[in-house]
Amino acid sequence: MGYYNQTPNGRQPKPSHAGSFFAGVFGVLVGALLMWLLFSQAPGLLPGTESTNSGTQIQQQNREQQGASLDITTDVTKAVDEASDAVVGVSNLQTGGDFFSQSQEQAVGTGSGVIYKSEGDTAYVVTNHHVVDGASGIEVTLADGTKVDAQVVGSDIWTDLAVLEMSNEKVQGVVELGDSDALKRGEAVIAIGNPLGLEFSGSVTSGVVSGTDRAVPVDLDGDGTEDWQAEVLQTDAAINPGNSGGALVNLAGQLIGINSMKIATSQVEGIGFSIPINSALPVINQLEATGEMVRPAMGITLIDLAQVPSTYRDDTLNLTEEVTAGVVVSSVVPSSAADEAGMRQYDVIVEMDGEEIGDIIELRKHLYNEKQIGDMLQVKAYRNGELLEFELELTDNSTL
């Protein structure tokens, strides 16, 4: 078919054979060029190359679908590897049964513990007092699931610490002790334990040190009245029921705290507490050696001066503006060392044996780490704005 041109008089001209020829040739050339471009860009479409190139494409797709196998090691994984074998489960066994059935020991609660020492054929575990309280038997579950019978060597309700002993035949790891006094706010720490029981044994949570030298009120007998202020570290690493007695470690895998409790309300997130190892160690050593914790006592109850409202500082304590830190005597036990030395309610202790005392934790550290029962203690305290000196002969706290 040729091209037609319209003439002015309206008649159709005869077809042009030369135009038709050149149009056909042009079409063939354009078609050949398109085919060349197509096959040069997709050689797999050429006959004889389909199977080879399809195989190449399939191999490439397989390589893309295979995940890379990587051995990722971080400071956290190294610390967990160092410490995890020393973290155990601690089951509190108590005798149960009714009138018609034979009594037998049953697990009424499960917490955590840390193997801190292995000597001879005996391994020693530190845990919380409340984990083993009331137990007629103790069963320790090692990191590999092995169960070992253990005995309570000693327990201290005030610091919420207990020491267990057991055979070390199956023990695979002993934790290295760190220095909790060297911790900094914001330093990374890791909690290892058994939240909600042995089903989640060896669980790891991480966080930071939120605060050091915290004093947290504790009601020991459940009567709604504060009995003690626990000396603890604060962390945002998750500590759940069952983590009690477990390890808080630094990035070197060293034990720097014994996990103890958390604030559990709907308004609060990420506030957990751990007993600093430097505070726990004297208690652990004495429980291991004697089975009980006997402390030197002054015979007073205490409140941090920082917690006293300014109105009471002025009206009740009569302190000058220069006195910004110290410990207020809230009550004196009759016939105690403090009573016999002449100390009174509302005295504000600022110094012991020449060492400045800024809060309750510093007072207890000096009293429990530096003094023994029967020692003399030199105390300086403000009363109505006047600085007084007292000398106390420390007594056995169990006699109060």
| Alpha-carbon gap, residue 175 to 327, rounded angstroms | 36
3-state class (DSSP) for residue 159: coil
71 as an active site residue: the answer is: no
Query: d(Cα 282, Cα 284) in Å, to the nearest integer?
Result: 5
Pairing verdict, β 254-262 and 272-276 = antiparallel
User: Exposed, middle or buried, 57 (CB in 10 Å: 0-12/13-18/19+)?
Assistant: exposed
Catalytic annotation, pick one of 129, 130, 156, 201: 130
Task: Tell me which amino acid residue 223 is.
Answer: D
| The one catalytic residue among 180, 210, 244, 279 | 244
Catalytic-role residue among 84, 129, 155, 160: 160
Burial class (CB in 10 A: 0-12, 13-18, 19+), 53: middle
State yes or no: is 98 an active-site residue: no
Instruction: List alpha helices for the chain, DSSP H.
Output: 17-41, 50-65, 75-83, 129-132, 277-290, 310-315, 337-341, 360-370
For residue 88, list its beta bridge partners: 113
Active site residue 244: yes
User: Do residues 351 and 382 lie in contact, with contact meaning Cβ atoms separated by under 8 Å?
Assistant: no
**Cα–Cα distance between 308 and 323 in angstroms, integer?**
13
- Rounded Cα distance between 326 and 305, Å, is 5
The residues carrying an active-site annotation are: 130, 160, 244
